[in-house]
Amino acid sequence: MKRTNDGGARRIVVISTGGTIASRWQGTGYAADASGDDVLATAPLPEGVTVEVVDLFNVNSSRMTAAHQLALLRTVHETLADPGVDGIVITHGTDTLEETAFFLDLHHTDARPVVLTGAQRPFGTGDGDGPGNLYDALQVASSVSDLGVLVVFDGRVHAARGTVKTQTLAADAFSDPSADRLGRVGFSRVDIERQPERPTPLPLPAAADKADPDLPGAV
């Protein structure tokens, strides 16, 4: 699906990978089965943004494997090979979001932002935090550059390196114990307060070319 708000001056690709933000009640528990289009439909679009959705896979992040992460890394690089793309947002489960963000940042060579976000409360709940987090992530992805891979959650912008999940239930799930947040997002405004230190990125691993998350244990 493609959605546009006011002409779409900025083109953002949303890569959907599952997690609580895409989890619906199945009678005996929650499972990540909502599509990227379903998740995107819950959030308004920032002004001047066009969004395209890629449904890569749909897993609870506690079941995220190296094959999933390698396939995601490959998809990010393939997406950024298109010069018309201005940024990427990845919807992801929170249990392994910090590991995926760090892994992607190790290999991120582009000035355009890659932003990970998710939710503490499931898809479709009245008090769900997913729509707000997704809106904020789209706002950041359409506004910043040269910051590496980012985590956007509960109005806060964090660098991938150093950010960890520190809350199991609270909305402000992520923080960096060794440094302050990079910035804030809210009221349709992004304020960046510091620049992260980023070592030289690593080359794309050869295993990314053949990673298949549908094959158990495959890398």
Q: What is each CA distance from 127 to 31, 151, 170, 190, in whole angstroms?
A: 18, 21, 12, 24
Rounded Cα distance between 122 and 118, Å, is 10
Rounded Cα distance between 202 and 135, Å, is 30
DSSP for 36-73, please give it.
HHHHHTTSPPPTTEEEEEEEEEEE-GGG--HHHHHHHH
CA angle 100, 147, 13 (to 5 degrees): 60
Active site members: 20
